[in-house]
């Protein structure tokens, strides 16, 4: 049961696809205070799930969060905002319900921060739709809330099956030779690979939809040579459009008024990688259509995958703020500048980058009305993703295109996947990624994953191994790192052989992962669940936030600590432990319900098969194009069967997904 409560005059974010009538009764559960605050008393036993891409554990209690999309590469425990805003929560306890604050601006969640027993939600304005979702009868209250919510927000995006292969990326591949080298080294190391990512250096002066001919003389040829090896090239597209006379995207955008405007009606100027840029007004359907059409420049060269970056949008600085700052500095800096002035001086420089005040300085054209960006900030990235998705559906109507974005809002899950942004090569960031997965699934995002090995900072050989052992379970499985950090392609490490074995295990698990993904898509379910969503009567399960249920048959319990030779795992039911060194070298151990110390040396992957279940495993191969369904066997409990979802992996027509029950005897 879903009820909609409307406050004031909300902006239509298009997050919701089902039209509901607004309730005339009072908003239940919450006390509505003046100053636009929604207040809820929390009982000791209440657990708060959700908020998608946010810091801290699966239970969000005990911290305050701000949903205001940010280009923030510091994912710390006290970070308030990351790249996406996912305003959906489940309060689980004596009374269990879901709540979605459909609001495109800044919104704050104090979840037991000021007072442990109180949750306060407040926003810049109270013009918003609030949806309350009550559980259906039965044991699985949280899951029934998620399912209803997912029907409200529409079907999730499904990528082509090759997107489940392993991908190699790095900010730093500068030439065609760099790309060919990566492919060659993976081939030499005998490690499967399905994609190589192209970061901003492939462009001419960071101009979207251009290719630097001096470094990539023939992209079409390169892309076709790579396809012959089963490798797809996936270029990046940034939100800002370089201001440069004669550059078609710039000229057309100016001529047609497709860019965001400043208060005087001039095209707004910010600075990002290309230098001065304009930001396409993705809230304007005409601008979306126009920008989306540009992807054809790359699809014409055989490209069938993209990642959209910097679409919060990230702004390094604006000329106006810089000028003001320079003026102020002159006043502050003097011969006998005091220490307070000195800190003010350095602070001014720090404040230039990513200054949220810049979001109050530009406007969108929504049905002829000028809307300040600040008020709709959180849906900008989503609409860039939408522009690409809608265009690619036109350019290539029959086939799915790989597509994921950095910034998002609920609704963006219909248009693409997301990656979890600029993490660091920190052990704690393996855990952080894992803890976001169920909350992202709740919000509809199914094609998700993080930068494996860590983006910022230097990774280590053992960290890469443990990270791979975690990420090989996530739909998006990509090794990506920042320019200037330690090189981290798998062939850079002395244990390349064992790392390769893990990638081969990933390929043998794709039939299971892809099937569970399709299942979650088709039935509006979660692929990654907290244990407590299924073991609802189990109090210990509520505290477990470093293990997840993956689909119907698996529980994962990754190792994310340096020098660990194993870990404690809680089994909410008897399960089968699988300990694998390679596709052919593994053992299985039946374990009872309860806490176990499970040994796993560095080169050993562990995971668990749930009681009475099995998973389909295929013969491993070099690329997803070579997966042979004829080689699928079940692994797990004897006599178990498995409901396998499958399709041809590429058609846009998702009604062709079929289901087959398989056992080891057929």
CB distance 258 to 283 below 8 Å: no
Instruction: Please pick, from the candidates 421, 456, 500, 558, the single residue that binds ligand MIG as defined by CB under 6 A.
Output: 421
Is the CB of 193 or the CB of 236 nearer to ligand MIG? 236
* Nearest distance from C-beta of residue 189 to ligand MIG, angstroms: 23
* Nearest distance from C-beta of residue 515 to ligand MIG, angstroms: 29
* Nearest distance from C-beta of residue 478 to ligand MIG, angstroms: 10
The angle subtended at Cα 269 by Cα 267 and Cα 270, nearest 5°, is 150
Is the CB of 47 or the CB of 310 nearer to ligand MIG? 310
Is the CB of 199 or the CB of 281 nearer to ligand MIG? 199
Three-state secondary structure call for residue 131: strand
CB distance 520 to 657 below 8 Å: no
Find the Cα–Cα–Cα–Cα dihedral 338, 339, 342, 348, rounded to 10°.
-120
200 binds ligand MIG (CB under 6 A): yes
Instruction: Please pick, from the candidates 63, 113, 140, 171, the single residue that binds ligand MIG as defined by CB under 6 A.
Output: 171
Three-state secondary structure call for residue 653: coil
**Residues 495-524 close enough to bind ligand MIG by CB under 6 A:** none
* Nearest distance from C-beta of residue 481 to ligand MIG, angstroms: 8
| Torsion region of 512: left, alpha or beta (phi above 0 gives left; psi -120 to 50 gives alpha) | alpha
Is the CB of 88 or the CB of 403 nearer to ligand MIG? 403
| Distance (Å) of CA 624 to CA 31, 229, 244 | 52, 11, 41
**Residues 539-598 close enough to bind ligand MIG by CB under 6 A:** none
Three-state secondary structure call for residue 249: helix
Is the CB of 353 or the CB of 394 nearer to ligand MIG? 353
* Nearest distance from C-beta of residue 201 to ligand MIG, angstroms: 8
489 binds ligand MIG (CB under 6 A): no
* Nearest distance from C-beta of residue 397 to ligand MIG, angstroms: 29
Is the CB of 273 or the CB of 645 nearer to ligand MIG? 273
CB distance 475 to 448 below 8 Å: yes
Is the CB of 200 or the CB of 526 nearer to ligand MIG? 200
Can you tell me the distance from the alpha carbon of 553 to that of 193, in angstroms, rounded to the nearest whole number? 26
* Nearest distance from C-beta of residue 169 to ligand MIG, angstroms: 8
* Nearest residue (beta carbon) to ligand MIG: 171
Kindly write out the interface string for residues 469-488 of this chain, putting x where it contacts ligand MIG by CB under 6 A and - elsewhere: -----------x--------
199 binds ligand MIG (CB under 6 A): yes
**Secondary element (H or E) of residue 346:** helix 339-350
Is the CB of 63 or the CB of 171 nearer to ligand MIG? 171
Is the CB of 414 or the CB of 480 nearer to ligand MIG? 480
* Nearest distance from C-beta of residue 345 to ligand MIG, angstroms: 25
Q: What residues contact residue 455 under an 8 Å CB cut-off, 6+ apart?
A: 73, 421, 422, 423, 424, 425, 480, 481, 482, 485
Handedness of CA 202, 206, 209, 211 (dihedral sign): negative
Can you tell me the distance from the alpha carbon of 400 to that of 657, in angstroms, rounded to the nearest whole number? 14
User: Which residue in 566, 453, 553, 560 sits closest to 511, CA to CA?
Assistant: 553
* Nearest distance from C-beta of residue 602 to ligand MIG, angstroms: 27
Find the Cα–Cα–Cα–Cα dihedral 454, 478, 153, 365, rounded to 10°.
80
CB distance 166 to 491 below 8 Å: no
167 binds ligand MIG (CB under 6 A): no
CB distance 279 to 270 below 8 Å: yes
Size of the site for ligand MIG (CB under 6 A): 10
* Nearest distance from C-beta of residue 309 to ligand MIG, angstroms: 5
* Nearest distance from C-beta of residue 485 to ligand MIG, angstroms: 11
Is the CB of 361 or the CB of 480 nearer to ligand MIG? 480
CB distance 237 to 271 below 8 Å: no
Q: Which residue has the tokens 């509006």?
A: 524
* Nearest distance from C-beta of residue 157 to ligand MIG, angstroms: 19
Find the Cα–Cα–Cα–Cα dihedral 65, 67, 70, 73, rounded to 10°.
30
User: Which residue in 241, 278, 260 sits closest to 363, CA to CA?
Assistant: 260
* Nearest distance from C-beta of residue 53 to ligand MIG, angstroms: 13
453 binds ligand MIG (CB under 6 A): no
Is the CB of 100 or the CB of 447 nearer to ligand MIG? 447
Is the CB of 172 or the CB of 574 nearer to ligand MIG? 172
198 binds ligand MIG (CB under 6 A): no
Kindly write out the interface string for residues 370-409 of this chain, putting x where it contacts ligand MIG by CB under 6 A and - elsewhere: ------------------------------------x---
Q: SS3 sequence, 367-415?
A: CCEEEEHHHHHHHHHHHHHHHHHHHHHHHCCCECCEEEECCEECCHHHC
422 binds ligand MIG (CB under 6 A): yes
Is the CB of 279 or the CB of 608 nearer to ligand MIG? 279
Can you tell me the distance from the alpha carbon of 452 to that of 56, in angstroms, rounded to the nearest whole number? 19
CB distance 454 to 583 below 8 Å: no
* Nearest distance from C-beta of residue 241 to ligand MIG, angstroms: 15
Kindly write out the interface string for residues 300-339 of this chain, putting x where it contacts ligand MIG by CB under 6 A and - elsewhere: ---------xx-----------------------------
Is the CB of 314 or the CB of 621 nearer to ligand MIG? 314
Q: What residues contact residue 435 under an 8 Å CB cut-off, 6+ apart?
A: 56, 57, 58, 545, 546
C-alpha R_g of the chain = 25
CB distance 456 to 487 below 8 Å: no
Kindly write out the interface string for residues 240-279 of this chain, putting x where it contacts ligand MIG by CB under 6 A and - elsewhere: ----------------------------------------
* Nearest distance from C-beta of residue 65 to ligand MIG, angstroms: 21
Applying CB under 6 A, which residues contact ligand MIG?
A: 171, 199-200, 236, 309-310, 406, 421-422, 480
């Amino acid at each position: 049961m879903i009820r909609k409560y409307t406050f004031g005059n909300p902006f239509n974010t298009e997050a919701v696809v089902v039209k509901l009538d607004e309730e005339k009764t009072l908003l239940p559960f919450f006390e509505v205070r003046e100053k636009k605050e929604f207040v809820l008393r929390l009982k000791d036993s209440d657990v708060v799930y959700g908020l998608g891409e946010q810091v801290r554990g699966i239970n969000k209690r005990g911290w305050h969060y701000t949903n205001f999309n940010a280009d923030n590469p510091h994912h710390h425990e006290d970070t308030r905002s990351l790249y996406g805003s996912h305003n959906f929560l489940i309060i689980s306890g004596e009374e269990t319900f879901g709540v979605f604050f459909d609001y495109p601006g800044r919104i704050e969640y104090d979840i037991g921060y000021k007072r442990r027993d109180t949750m306060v939600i407040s926003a810049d304005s109270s013009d918003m739709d609030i949806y309350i979702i009550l559980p259906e009868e039965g044991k699985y209250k949280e899951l029934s809330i998620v399912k209803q919510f997912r029907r409200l927000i529409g079907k999730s995006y499904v990528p082509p099956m090759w997107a489940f292969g392993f991908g190699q990326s790095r900010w730093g591949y500068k030439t065609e030779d760099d790309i060919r080298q990566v492919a060659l080294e993976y081939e030499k190391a005998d490690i499967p690979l399905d994609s190589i990512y192209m970061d901003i250096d492939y462009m001419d002066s960071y101009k979207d939809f251009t290719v630097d001919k001096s470094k990539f003389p023939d992209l079409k040829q390169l892309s076709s040579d790579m396809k012959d090896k089963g490798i797809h090239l996936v270029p990046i597209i940034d939100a800002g459009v370089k201001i440069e006379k004669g550059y078609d995207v710039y000229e057309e955008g100016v001529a047609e008024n497709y860019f965001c405007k400043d208060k005087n009606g001039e095209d707004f100027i910010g600075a990002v990688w290309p230098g001065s840029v304009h930001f396409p007004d993705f809230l304007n359907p005409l601008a979306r259509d126009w920008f989306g059409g540009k992807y054809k420049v790359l699809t014409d060269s055989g490209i069938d995958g993209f990642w959209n970056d910097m679409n919060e949008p990230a702004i390094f600085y604006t000329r106006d703020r810089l000028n003001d700052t320079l003026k102020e500095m002159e006043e502050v800096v003097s011969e006998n500048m005091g220490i307070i002035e000195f800190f003010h001086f350095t602070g001014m420089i720090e404040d230039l980058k990513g200054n949220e005040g810049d979001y109050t300085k530009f406007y969108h054209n929504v049905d002829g009305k000028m809307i300040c960006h600040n008020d709709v900030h959180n849906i900008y990235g989503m609409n860039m993703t939408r522009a690409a998705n809608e265009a690619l559906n036109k350019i290539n109507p029959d086939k799915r295109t790989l597509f994921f974005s950095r910034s998002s809002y609920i609704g963006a899950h219909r248009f693409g996947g997301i990656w979890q942004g600029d993490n660091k090569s920190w052990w704690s960031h393996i855990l952080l990624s894992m803890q976001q997965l169920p909350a992202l699934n709740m919000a509809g995002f199914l094609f998700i994953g993080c930068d494996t090995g860590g983006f910022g900072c230097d990774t280590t050989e053992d960290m890469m191994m443990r990270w791979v052992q975690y990420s090989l379970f996530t739909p998006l499985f990509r090794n990506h790192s920042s320019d200037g950090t330690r090189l981290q392609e798998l062939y850079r490490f002395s244990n390349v052989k064992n790392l390769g074995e893990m990638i081969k295990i990933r390929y043998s698990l794709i039939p299971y992962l892809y099937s569970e993904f399709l299942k979650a898509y088709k039935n509006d379910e979660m692929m990654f669940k907290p244990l407590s969503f299924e073991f609802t009567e189990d109090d210990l399960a509520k505290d477990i936030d470093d293990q997840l249920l993956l689909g119907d048959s698996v529980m994962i319990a990754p190792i994310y600590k340096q020098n660990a030779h194993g870990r404690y795992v809680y089994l909410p039911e008897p399960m089968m432990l699988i300990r694998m060194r390679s596709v052919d070298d593994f053992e299985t151990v039946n374990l009872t319900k309860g806490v176990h110390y499970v040994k796993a040396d560095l080169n050993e992957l562990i995971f668990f098969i749930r009681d009475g279940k099995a998973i389909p495993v295929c013969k491993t191969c070099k690329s997803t194009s070579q997966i042979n369904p004829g080689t699928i066997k079940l692994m797990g409990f004897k006599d178990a069967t498995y409901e396998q979802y499958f399709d041809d992996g590429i058609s846009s027509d998702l009604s062709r997904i079929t289901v087959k029950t398989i056992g080891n005897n057929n």
